[in-house]
Structure 1
Amino acid sequence: MCWSFGVIIVCSLVLHAGNILWLNPRKLRRKLSEQGITGPPPRFYQGSIAEMRSIATRCKPEPLPRGQVSHGWARSIFPYLHHWALRYGSLYMYSTRQQVNLCVNRPDLVKFLNLQRPLDLDKPSTLVKTPNPLFGKGIMRATGQNWASQRKLIAPQFFLDKVKGMMDLMVDSTMAMIEKWEGMILQSEETAADIYITEDVNSLSANVIARACFSSSYAEGRQIFAKLRTLQHALARPDRLFGFHNLRFLPSKANKDLLRIREEVDLLILKRVRARQEENQKALKPEKDLLQMILESADANGAMNEKACDSFVVDSCKNIYFAGHETTATTISWSLMLLAVHPEWQDRIRSEILEFCGDRLCHRGSLDYEMLRKLKVLTMVIQETLRLYGPAIILVRETMTGIKLGEIDVPKGVVLWTSIPALHRDPENWGPDALEFKPERFKDGVSEACKHPQAYVPFGYGSRLCLGQTFAMLEMKIVLALILSRFSFLLSPEYQHSPVFRMVLAPEHGMRLVVRKI
């Protein structure tokens, strides 16, 4: 009997494994192929991973000469996706082990992604686990009802009426950076200085989100931001994103270092949380910032023990620290780079500032929301920057139920991948000048900028649209308006143009500009 039971158990496990690794994926691929969708043929267990590695090895781009810029960088980030799009079109399927993926880069189909119910498209479980040290179970990786409850908590903190109240601290943080740059130009004994702006812009954006959401400063959270960036760089490799290997549980040195840094970040954030809890006990009226809202939400959840409450608070803070400053900082850097290459747009923005603001930007606290709304040229430049160099590169969702994308029936369990650079560079949608920097395409708004405006997705699509969109746009307008009213820019001859994927689109070697005082 024991042998019989053993044989039955082994056979059941083999059948279960075969069902997961081959039969289920085969059924999904058949349903897609019956609708005319093609893609690279999969190998058993590995799927298309071997071909992805081969393409990535063959298609390494040649570095551009220093001081030169090309906007056709997209093919170098995930070269296999670009390679397959050329071969199979803007809608194709491929496999990564047992996972069946559908790449959706057709602008007309993105409209249907926007229309799906919130929980019908969710974050894939495989993608949720990969960057766990950086995001934990925070809103950027939460799924299902957990995501819905976190969104309900965080979203109101970034509504327009709240964001307007953060304008003064955005101005103060920007003025501190401006004064530093003015000092550097004075020290150079010239009218201009070659400045590595990356760290300054990162510090500025980090200071804004820290003060806005946690009533602290970048100086207090410097270690947190530095360690989060270390985690970000370690986790932003394509092999982790696409599941080339599943080695995150092995006790390798890299995995041990990730675990150590994660624990250090968690302890630093928890220390800040404990300090706030002590302040609350002494204060008659606690500070009503986002950290306080998170603490109150954790306290109100009676189902969570102390450890679970701490994890919820720490993960929420990590997500907001990262999302609230990294995306905005990189977009500001790319905007300044594009303006340095196109100085005529600097002049147009300054003329607009002079027309609507006069000399009021020369004084602290003189900005107001209505004034910023009138800066249409500046808005056009930011929108074009987000089109060519938006911080998000890839959008990933898993079908939790069967859905319909136009004429395509997508069964449950398929992972949808949308390449934002591919959508934003499609000449059929944007015209033959899709690779050119032309902010004037947005002169009548996004709705008139292209044939399918729903394919302009710098902040994502559907119910998972970026919660901080209003906050980020306002911060970028304030920072760029104040900087351009005081400085002009040229690209540094030392600048090496090499956009890379680090969870966001970042300049691999940082950003160097020649900054001249006006």
Structure 2
Amino acid sequence: MGVTLVYLHEILWLRLEKIRKKLRRQDINGPKPTWLYGNTQEMKRIRQELKCVQRQDKDMNGYISTIFPHFILWRKTYDSCLRKDIHKHFVFKWTQILRMVQFVIMSLYIVFENWNRARVPLLNRSFGDIACILAANGDLWAYEKKILAPQFFVEKIKGMIGLIVDATVPLLQSWENMLDSTGGSQEIYVDGYLRNFSADVIARACFGSNFIEGKDIFCKLRQLQKLISQQDTLVGLSALWKYLPTKRNWEIQKLDQQVRLLILDLSREHRSRSRSNGGTHMSTYDNLLHAIVDGANQSSSYSSAPEDFIVDNCKNIYFAGHETAAVTATWCLMLLAAHPDWQERARAEALEVCCGQTVMDNDILRQLKILTMVIQETLRLYPPASLIMREALTDIRLGGVDVPRGTIIQVAISMLHLDLEAWGPDANEFRPDRFANGAAAACKPAHMYMPFGYGPRLCTGQNLAMAELKVVLARLLSKFSFSLSPGYQHSPVYRLTIEPEFGMPLVVTRLP
């Protein structure tokens, strides 16, 4: 027992204190942590005290004061050490397992071979433990990248555009049927419909099935996301929290097991169909599932059991692939509803380029310049992935700071995207024309825009996400107009993605 306590004291405090001392000697300070909870209890207190600030704020896009108020407060308190080469940085203790975090707002130039994706128990429980491409590191990550990345190359996505268009048909038809009985205009909570559409796209394009067949997986993953995102009262013990006999833990474990069994059933069905067709695939578009199943056979060489490899990667794609695209489409419609001039410009372009046709291809999508700018600006204001974390594998010098081994660099993407120094005084405004000359020219330095991540960890599915967003928005704008519902309450909330807390009710009107 005594040896155990000494060991815990070493890993939970002394090791962290060594890192803090090295950073304090460089004038990098932060709030004082507690032994078990780090700074998480203070973070919760700050959020509770300031939770009404954004709702009273007239700036629709100024939501950071609600979601990350502790970042803003601590930056003001501990940014006395500003330098020319690295700005607005301080340290705080997220959890005892995650060790020390250095929060960086600007100028992040990283030698990536010296960094790993930081292991975050809260996120790993959603996307898979260690066997999915989002959470893996080292040789396993490189192996998964080699297997999965080719399935999302541009040439592959070109062949999926027809499937994306097909997935819009049930969405459009359901709205048209609703409007038939209400005189052509009605309030619709669009976020649920867009989530179903995006799930259908992933199921059709990547797994060779329709949404009905994958419905249970998507519903259970959505429930899992909500349960895990509420996990903040004991976040200081998040690495140990999942072992505590709580009701929420029981629900999470039950859902997780149900999702696992459904995914394994799907993979077995795929193997069966493949064998019955002499090794060929019944669908041209289930190459991703085929790649995952085949890749699992070699995953044990990289310390991952085959079943874990299949479940974690399918969970990652089901969850991250459809959820992020759906929430981005939701914010796009909200912003277009709030800015009717841009809505009219995007609609005019869609009608001109598509010419009323239901058939779309890559050439048509490339001509949607205004719509592309709208999507890029939406991704800037409401990036679906809000945080990036990297852990230093060795002692390294970064931006004039000696970063000790074990330090975690945390980048809040939403704060990068709203930084006044990079984007100008109108950083909080919806101005799609800032992307008229492309994303690289929209801000300085260019890496301040990273909706899909940065460097080797760039999102594998970004090409599919952009194609999906262009197709669904062009189709919707060609048939309907959108305005904000009087009952809409603007309250972005962090649930692993940044989404509307109370849903997205919009007044949808059929075009003549």
TM-score of the aligned structures, taking structure 1 as reference length: 0.90
Q: Match of 1:101?
A: 101
Cα deviation 1:201-226 (Å, max 9, x = unaligned): 11110011111111001110101100
| Distance in 2 of aligned mates of 1:231 and 1:302 | 27
| Distance in 2 of aligned mates of 1:207 and 1:192 | 26
| Distance in 2 of aligned mates of 1:72 and 1:173 | 34
1:43 and 1:271, CA in 2 relative to 1: closer, same or farther beyond 3 A? closer
CA contact (8 A) 1:140 1:319 kept: yes
Q: Match of 2:264?
A: 270
1:302 and 1:74, CA in 2 relative to 1: closer, same or farther beyond 3 A? closer
- 1:326 corresponds to 2:323: yes
Give the CA deviation at 1:321.
0.5
Q: CA RMSD in A?
A: 2.4
What secondary structure is seen at the aligned counterpart in 2 of 1:219?
helix
Amino acid of the structure 2 residue aligned with 1:135 = G
1:371 to 350, 357, 364: 364
Give the CA deviation at 1:409.
2.0
1:388 to 363, 381, 390: 381
| Distance in 1 of aligned mates of 2:234 and 2:365 | 38
Within 5 Å, which residues of 2 pair with 1:19-418?
Answer: 19-61=10-52, 64=55, 70-89=60-79, 90-98=88-96, 99-106=99-106, 109-110=107-108, 112-113=109-110, 116-118=111-113, 120-125=114-119, 127-128=120-121, 131-132=124-125, 134-136=127-129, 137-188=131-182, 190-237=183-230, 239=232, 243=236, 246-287=240-281, 289-300=287-298, 308-357=305-354, 359=355, 362-365=356-359, 367-418=360-411
Q: Match of 2:83?
A: none
1:304 and 1:81, CA in 2 relative to 1: closer, same or farther beyond 3 A? closer
Of the structure 1 ranges 284-293 and 296-305, higher mean CA displacement relative to structure 2 is found in 296-305
CA contact (8 A) 1:94 1:102 kept: yes
Structure 1: state its 5+ residue gaps.
1-8
Of the structure 1 ranges 484-493 and 348-357, higher mean CA displacement relative to structure 2 is found in 348-357
| Distance in 1 of aligned mates of 2:369 and 2:67 | 32
CA contact (8 A) 2:116 2:392 kept: yes
| Distance in 2 of aligned mates of 1:198 and 1:50 | 32
1:393 and 1:97, CA in 2 relative to 1: closer, same or farther beyond 3 A? closer
CA contact (8 A) 2:299 2:309 kept: no
How many residue pairs get aligned? The number is: 495
CA contact (8 A) 2:154 2:463 kept: yes
| Distance in 2 of aligned mates of 1:182 and 1:31 | 63
CA contact (8 A) 2:19 2:407 kept: yes
What secondary structure is seen at the aligned counterpart in 2 of 1:485?
helix
What secondary structure is seen at the aligned counterpart in 2 of 1:457?
coil
CA contact (8 A) 1:171 1:478 kept: yes
TM-score of the aligned structures, taking structure 2 as reference length: 0.91
Amino acid of the structure 1 residue aligned with 2:365 = L
| Distance in 1 of aligned mates of 2:415 and 2:164 | 33
| Distance in 2 of aligned mates of 1:506 and 1:425 | 17
What secondary structure is seen at the aligned counterpart in 1 of 2:212?
coil
1:380 and 1:103, CA in 2 relative to 1: closer, same or farther beyond 3 A? same
What secondary structure is seen at the aligned counterpart in 2 of 1:483?
helix
CA contact (8 A) 2:299 2:305 kept: no
| Distance in 2 of aligned mates of 1:467 and 1:185 | 38
Amino acid of the structure 1 residue aligned with 2:454 = Y
Of the structure 1 ranges 219-228 and 175-184, higher mean CA displacement relative to structure 2 is found in 175-184
Cα deviation 1:70-109 (Å, max 9, x = unaligned): 1111121132122112222321111235421100012xx2
| Distance in 2 of aligned mates of 1:130 and 1:282 | 38
Q: Match of 1:477?
A: 470
2:421 to 423, 428, 450: 428
> Does 1 or 2 have the higher relative contact order (CA < 8 Å, sep 6+)?
1
| Distance in 1 of aligned mates of 2:276 and 2:310 | 21
Of the structure 1 ranges 233-242 and 325-334, higher mean CA displacement relative to structure 2 is found in 233-242
What secondary structure is seen at the aligned counterpart in 1 of 2:342?
helix
| Distance in 2 of aligned mates of 1:63 and 1:426 | 17
CA contact (8 A) 1:397 1:415 kept: yes
CA contact (8 A) 1:65 1:496 kept: no
Give the CA deviation at 1:484.
0.9
| Distance in 1 of aligned mates of 2:457 and 2:467 | 20
1:451 to 434, 439, 444: 444
Of the structure 1 ranges 499-508 and 443-452, higher mean CA displacement relative to structure 2 is found in 443-452
Of the structure 1 ranges 296-305 and 200-209, higher mean CA displacement relative to structure 2 is found in 296-305
1:379 and 1:133, CA in 2 relative to 1: closer, same or farther beyond 3 A? closer
Give the CA deviation at 1:26.
2.1
State percent identity of aligned pairs: 42
What secondary structure is seen at the aligned counterpart in 2 of 1:497?
coil
Amino acid of the structure 1 residue aligned with 2:353 = F
1:266 and 1:445, CA in 2 relative to 1: closer, same or farther beyond 3 A? same
Within 5 Å, which residues of 2 pair with 1:494-505?
Answer: 494-505=487-498
What secondary structure is seen at the aligned counterpart in 1 of 2:493?
strand
Amino acid of the structure 2 residue aligned with 1:152 = K
1:404 and 1:213, CA in 2 relative to 1: closer, same or farther beyond 3 A? same
CA contact (8 A) 1:78 1:238 kept: no
CA contact (8 A) 1:134 1:232 kept: no
Give the CA deviation at 1:460.
1.1
CA contact (8 A) 2:117 2:390 kept: yes
Amino acid of the structure 2 residue aligned with 1:86 = K
Give the CA deviation at 1:356.
3.5
Q: Match of 1:4?
A: none
Cα deviation 1:347-381 (Å, max 9, x = unaligned): 11123234434x2xx2322x221222122111111
| Distance in 1 of aligned mates of 2:95 and 2:220 | 32
Give the CA deviation at 1:128.
4.2
Whichever of the two has the greater Rg, that structure is: 1
Amino acid of the structure 2 residue aligned with 1:213 = C
Give the CA deviation at 1:139.
1.6
1:241 and 1:445, CA in 2 relative to 1: closer, same or farther beyond 3 A? farther
| Distance in 1 of aligned mates of 2:300 and 2:232 | 40
| Distance in 2 of aligned mates of 1:18 and 1:304 | 32
Give the CA deviation at 1:37.
1.6
Give the CA deviation at 1:238.
6.0
Give the CA deviation at 1:48.
2.5
Cα deviation 1:474-503 (Å, max 9, x = unaligned): 111111111111111101112121111111
Q: Match of 1:3?
A: none
Amino acid of the structure 1 residue aligned with 2:294 = E
